[in-house]
Structure 1
Amino acid sequence: MNQNFDIIIVGGGAAGFFTAINIVEKNPKLKVAILERGAEVLQKVRISGGGRCNVTHACFVPNELVKYYPRGEKELRGPFHQFCSGDTIEWFEKHGVELKIEDDGRMFPVSNSSQTIIECFLTATQKLGIEVLTGQSVQSIFNPEVSGDKLWKIETQNENYIAEKLILATGSNPKVWEMLQTYGHAIVSPVPSLFTFNIKDSRIKELPGVAAQVTVKVKDTKLTSTGPLLITHWGMSGPAVLKLSAWGARILHDKNYQFTIFVNWLNDIETTEAEKILKDLKQEHAKKSVSKKSHFDFPNRLWESLVLASGIEGETKWADLSKVQLQNLSNQLTKGTFQVNGKSTFKEEFVTAGGIDLKEINFKTMESKLHENLYFAGEIVNIDAITGGFNFQNAWTSGFILANAI
């Protein structure tokens, strides 16, 4: 028995729900269903942002917003002029969810709970009569151009569905990518994008939880990033590292996650300037012990560790520092070399670089350039962003544009 719909959306995540709601709000006559392979919908929304759901980012200028997307920067410029972060805030407010801006620009529901977003979506789909069907893992997709029929046919393990238009919002689902390849779509092979660096190093071994504002560079590449760095039990994390992992997703994958980084713990102070500052400190604090107090904007424990790594013993006084020790210390502060050996990814922040080749999508409608009535929303395409609400913004924008087009 075939189940007939005007539109079938495969994928019960953020992009799938947002698209469905916007379509039916614009055209209540359409019969729309969301097919979700799992037993639960909106799972990624639930765990994102530590269970608070980082809905978007307080960056309201499209040409600025695109700069947070290592893949998709050029393609998203037009779409963001149609639906940007400000529109997201307005959309959620209209649907009864107020958002707030945190100091770092990330935006969350005022309730601080992702459940608010989930309930907003579930309430809207119920009210609009959108069918949400769980436990529907798509096994095959039949293209109308092939079958000679005017309709898409979707087979799950226990049902057959027929629809005039098919929207794929399946995120980084390799099985769906494979199906699309059989229809001639090119898939950019997926690699992890947001990950932390595994580093075993005596300088940071005892310092999990310590954070500093830094600049990090990857040796023999142009990759560089500035921002907060967090020392963890495994190595290094925090926005500076995650940003680097996003921009360097392909490069670092090709290096098999074995590479060298330089950390400037003084952020934008270069080595010669650091040496000058240290010489002044030597004059000023001659009788005091070097390792006692950090004179920079990071914790004492990190300072002690870097002093020790510069070959300066525990009770050494500033006055007794040799020229070589001063040089060593300024090097440790401004270009500490660390060996990265592998990566760690965390499920809730996990993002994949890769997906449908962007050249094969019409970004005015989100329709496939190869097949009529086939559309894409969210992370299924080769677009990804750094952490901070940007990946969700791509889901909302693509869903909105798609809904308008339909």
Structure 2
Amino acid sequence: MNIIVIGGGAAGYFGAIACAQANPEVQVTILEKSNKLLSKVKVSGGGRCNVTHHCFTPSVFAQHYPRGAKQLKEAFKAFGAAETVEWFERRGVKLKAEADGRMFPVTDNSQTIIDCLQRQAAHVSVSVKTGIAVERIVPHPDKEGYTLYLNNDKEVQADRVLICSGGSPKSQNYDWLRALGHTVQEPVPSLFTFNVPGSPLKELQGIAVPQARVRIAGQKLEYEGPLLITHWGYSGPAVLKLSAWGARLFHDMNYRFTALISWVHDQTEESLREHLQSYRQSHPKKVVTTNPFFGLPQRLWKTLTGIAGIAEETKWAELPAKNTNKLVEALLRMPVEVDGKTTFKEEFVTCGGVDLSEINTKTMESRLHPGLYFAGEVLDIDGITGGFNFQAAWTTGYLAGRAMASSIS
């Protein structure tokens, strides 16, 4: 029996390995259209590979997916983060958790994960072919199986097919799946940074605040987390995760909107004013611009006081009420005009893909075509940054691989 896996990424490798391991009688072949295998694994996490997240409760883990949470909640009970950690450790790759929950190989090198997957694929006799693109899939009209038409004018027969072709920002790249009758939720970018051409903080590029809150004006959309000032605008987990939750909204707004940044995430306006007033009374002769509050970096504090119109040598006792009001605004809800986004090409994540209502998410089999399976980012599943997208790939690949193996007697 011949099984074809389309795509040599995380989901493709994991699905192929799971299938071959569960049923040694089948021949499993991975077809990858490029000449690079596991390319996202290679660049993920700055070359360290953020394998998963240190959260072993499926219902909690699933809350980190703007799309696919409901279906993944059940899937993670079958194969979640705990099983992923065990899978790699049983094959000699120990993972470690960092303070923010992200998990990496102890080597801090993504090649460790690539080598493990390729070694395991070879061990269970998975065949891997590169430079071969599948252009069309045609179900056999009178029997099980499919004919796959390739880019080299050849064709191949398959008893089962697992599609792990990844996400794409271009809608036309899903046309070959639409031709099978599948509905595709329009792809739009997720996990991107905010471009702010007129940012008053442009000169502070590289400065990070450990905990800030970013809110979108006029929307019920906000996120807290580390925030990084860049020369083009704003980045860091607070922005990246917010972009995932708001992916479709931001697309509809043409990536032009007002973001409100709170540099003092744990303060209300009342508590902030009380804090400023108390400090003013205790230290009337201290210079406002040289005494940062709340652990903010000195350069950031000085810029924010400048935005509030506070002259450099102004002492707290001399600070006018109108400048105090402006400082409160700058600290609590500094408005920035976002005009565009920046995505990192190698690590892009797409919101959109094959509609989950057409997939049996216990097995990842198509409800339209028996014997056709899907896994990874080709599906309308995406998570926030932190190892969640790889976990979705491992989980859906594993479920698909095992289901394919058991479907063949």
TM-score (norm 1): 0.96
In structure 2, the partner of 1:93 is: 89
1:134 equivalenced with 2:134 (yes/no): no
Output the CA distance in 2 between the equivalents of 1:399 and 1:176.
21
372-381 or 274-283: which moved more? 274-283
In structure 2, the partner of 1:308 is: 306
1:68-105 deviations in whole A, cap 9, x for unaligned?
Answer: 10000111111011111010000001111111111111
Equivalent residue for 1:206, pick from 203, 208, 219: 203
Report if the CA contact (8 A) 2:65-2:382 is conserved.
yes
Structure 2 residues without counterparts, runs of 5 or longer: 405-409
In structure 1, the partner of 2:264 is: 266
Counterpart of 1:206 in 2: which secondary structure? Answer: helix
1:163 equivalenced with 2:158 (yes/no): yes
Output the CA distance in 1 between the equivalents of 2:163 and 2:394.
14
Output the CA distance in 1 between the equivalents of 2:334 and 2:293.
17
Output the CA distance in 2 between the equivalents of 1:143 and 1:176.
20
In structure 2, the partner of 1:245 is: 243
Counterpart of 2:223 in 1: which secondary structure? Answer: strand
Report if the CA contact (8 A) 1:258-1:339 is conserved.
yes
Output the CA distance in 1 between the equivalents of 2:386 and 2:158.
36
Counterpart of 1:301 in 2: which secondary structure? Answer: helix
Equivalent residue for 1:154, pick from 126, 148, 151: 148
Equivalent residue for 1:28, pick from 21, 24, 31: 24
Output the CA distance in 1 between the equivalents of 2:344 and 2:7.
22
The structural deviation recorded for 1:326 is 1.1
1:58 equivalenced with 2:54 (yes/no): yes
The structural deviation recorded for 1:202 is 5.1
The structural deviation recorded for 1:36 is 0.3
Counterpart of 1:387 in 2: which secondary structure? Answer: coil
Report if the CA contact (8 A) 1:20-1:130 is conserved.
yes
In structure 2, the partner of 1:172 is: 167
Over 3 Å counting, the alpha-carbon distance change for 1:258 and 1:176 in structure 2 is: closer
In structure 1, the partner of 2:193 is: 196
Report if the CA contact (8 A) 2:199-2:233 is conserved.
no
Report if the CA contact (8 A) 2:289-2:305 is conserved.
yes
In structure 1, the partner of 2:223 is: 225
The structural deviation recorded for 1:175 is 5.6
Runs of 4+ aligned structure 1 residues displaced above 6 Å come to none
Output the CA distance in 2 between the equivalents of 1:396 and 1:293.
49
The structural deviation recorded for 1:150 is 2.6
Counterpart of 1:283 in 2: which secondary structure? Answer: helix
1:192-219 deviations in whole A, cap 9, x for unaligned?
Answer: 0010001134531210011111111101
1:276-302 deviations in whole A, cap 9, x for unaligned?
Answer: 111111112211110012121220111
Q: Which amino acid aligns with 2:157?
A: I
1:359 equivalenced with 2:357 (yes/no): yes
Output the CA distance in 2 between the equivalents of 1:389 and 1:282.
45
Output the CA distance in 2 between the equivalents of 1:76 and 1:202.
39
The structural deviation recorded for 1:176 is 5.6
Question: Aligned-residue CA RMSD in angstroms?
Answer: 1.2
Equivalent residue for 1:280, pick from 278, 281, 284: 278
Percentage of identical aligned residues:
48
1:326-383 deviations in whole A, cap 9, x for unaligned?
Answer: 1111111101111101000012331000000111110111000111000001111000
Output the CA distance in 2 between the equivalents of 1:183 and 1:135.
23
Output the CA distance in 2 between the equivalents of 1:348 and 1:313.
45
In structure 1, the partner of 2:112 is: 116
Output the CA distance in 1 between the equivalents of 2:222 and 2:151.
47
168-177 or 23-32: which moved more? 168-177
Counterpart of 2:85 in 1: which secondary structure? Answer: helix
300-309 or 120-129: which moved more? 120-129
Equivalent residue for 1:16, pick from 7, 12, 15: 12
Output the CA distance in 1 between the equivalents of 2:263 and 2:197.
18
In structure 2, the partner of 1:106 is: 102
Q: Which amino acid aligns with 1:109?
A: P
Output the CA distance in 2 between the equivalents of 1:386 and 1:394.
11
**Number of equivalences:** 400
Report if the CA contact (8 A) 2:135-2:176 is conserved.
no
Counterpart of 2:159 in 1: which secondary structure? Answer: strand
Report if the CA contact (8 A) 1:211-1:298 is conserved.
no
Equivalent residue for 1:403, pick from 392, 396, 401: 401
The structural deviation recorded for 1:25 is 1.0
In structure 1, the partner of 2:331 is: 333
Output the CA distance in 1 between the equivalents of 2:316 and 2:199.
24
Counterpart of 2:295 in 1: which secondary structure? Answer: coil
Counterpart of 2:203 in 1: which secondary structure? Answer: coil
The structural deviation recorded for 1:403 is 2.1
In structure 1, the partner of 2:375 is: 377
TM-score (norm 2): 0.96
1:254-288 deviations in whole A, cap 9, x for unaligned?
Answer: 00000001111101211222111111111122111
